[in-house]
């Protein structure tokens, strides 16, 4: 019997070593790397002869600065396509929260990288279908969405060891029938051969205002001037850091959502995907 869908792979230069518990006589444990294929799939399937080859899993990367609406748009696009969703920002927020809860020093990079590898995270939904995230079995859905958690995420996200530690977790989201990946470096670093790369942006004023309304709706206290400063600070840190800085991939399509409604932005992204044959 061949390896099951979702078998995890690791790339070592030209060879892909297959990590799986079920192997067959046809399946030796490694095969030649097909450039570009593994980055976006991470899945393998045996053909009729039992020979394995990478299965293409379509990926849409949606990157952009804080408050650009990536989360809302990515969710809507994933729902339209019936694909999986990766909220990579949540992973950085979880690392920061796990660090604060474990009591390790705020500047302990290796300690945070270790947590990034070991933390037990479950992404799911509650009975009403709303997002539900658990960290070590504890419901942290609200705790990771505060502006403070966002600042903590931006701090740990600047550390190369933490970014490297989260890479494998992110690749594991690339599962059939497809993935919408939301973040800062989805199109540049994590999924460089994504089928469609969108860089979603909006003016700094509009982004601060959106975040303000979002926090108000959730019943959290919010101050527009302070939020504007925090967003500007996060933009500065995210786009000037040495590793994986926030910037559009050279082949990204820029979508400026300033003055557009959510429905208009969703339609703009859906029409880009449609023109690439990703969905109807």
Residue numbers at the binding site for ligand C5P (CB under 6 A): 66, 88-89, 92-93, 150, 153-154, 157, 183-185, 234, 238
In terms of CB distance, is 184 or 197 closer to ligand C5P? Answer: 184
Report the alpha-carbon distance of residue 72 to residue 53 in Å, rounded.
34
Least distance between ligand C5P and beta carbon 92 (Å):
4
- Using Cβ positions, the residue closest to ligand C5P within the complex turns out to be 89
In terms of CB distance, is 12 or 139 closer to ligand C5P? Answer: 139
Among 62, 40, 38, which Cα is nearest to 272's?
62
**Which tokens in the block code for residue 121?**
């995270």
Q: Which residues pair with 12 in a beta bridge?
A: 15
Strands (DSSP E) found in 38-153: 44-46, 52-54, 59-63, 84-87, 121-125, 131-135, 138-139
Least distance between ligand C5P and beta carbon 275 (Å):
25
Least distance between ligand C5P and beta carbon 185 (Å):
5
* Cα-only R_g, the chain: 19
In terms of CB distance, is 43 or 166 closer to ligand C5P? Answer: 166
Least distance between ligand C5P and beta carbon 35 (Å):
23
**Which tokens in the block code for residue 119?**
């933390």
In terms of CB distance, is 82 or 124 closer to ligand C5P? Answer: 124
């Amino acid at each position: 019997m061949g390896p099951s869908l979702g078998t995890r792979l690791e790339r070592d230069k030209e060879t892909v070593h297959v990590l799986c518990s079920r192997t067959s006589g046809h399946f030796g444990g490694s095969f030649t790397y097909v450039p570009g294929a593994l980055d976006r799939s991470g899945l393998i399937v045996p053909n009729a002869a039992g020979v394995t080859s990478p299965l293409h899993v379509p990926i849409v990367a949606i990157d952009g600065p804080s408050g650009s609406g990536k989360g809302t748009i990515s969710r809507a696009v994933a729902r339209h396509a019936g694909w999986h969703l990766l909220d990579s920002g949540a992973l950085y927020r979880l690392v920061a929260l796990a660090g604060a809860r474990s009591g390790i020093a705020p500047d302990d990079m290796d300690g945070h990288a270790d947590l990034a590898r070991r933390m037990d995270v479950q992404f799911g939904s509650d009975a009403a279908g709303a997002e539900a995230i658990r960290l070590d079995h504890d419901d942290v859905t609200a705790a990771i969405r505060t502006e403070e958690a966002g600042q903590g995420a931006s701090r740990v996200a600047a550390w190369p060891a933490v970014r490297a530690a989260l890479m494998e977790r992110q690749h594991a989201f690339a599962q059939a029938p497809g993935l919408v990946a939301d973040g800062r470096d989805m199109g540049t670093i994590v999924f460089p051969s994504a089928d469609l790369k969108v860089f979603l942006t909006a003016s700094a004023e509009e982004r601060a205002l959106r975040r303000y309304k979002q926090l108000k709706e959730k019943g959290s206290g919010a101050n527009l001037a302070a939020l504007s400063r925090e967003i500007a600070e996060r933009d500065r840190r995210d786009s000037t850091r040495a590793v994986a800085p926030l910037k559009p991939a050279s082949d990204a399509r820029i979508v400026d959502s300033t003055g557009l409604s959510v429905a208009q932005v969703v339609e703009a992204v859906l029409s880009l995907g449609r023109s690439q044959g990703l969905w109807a």
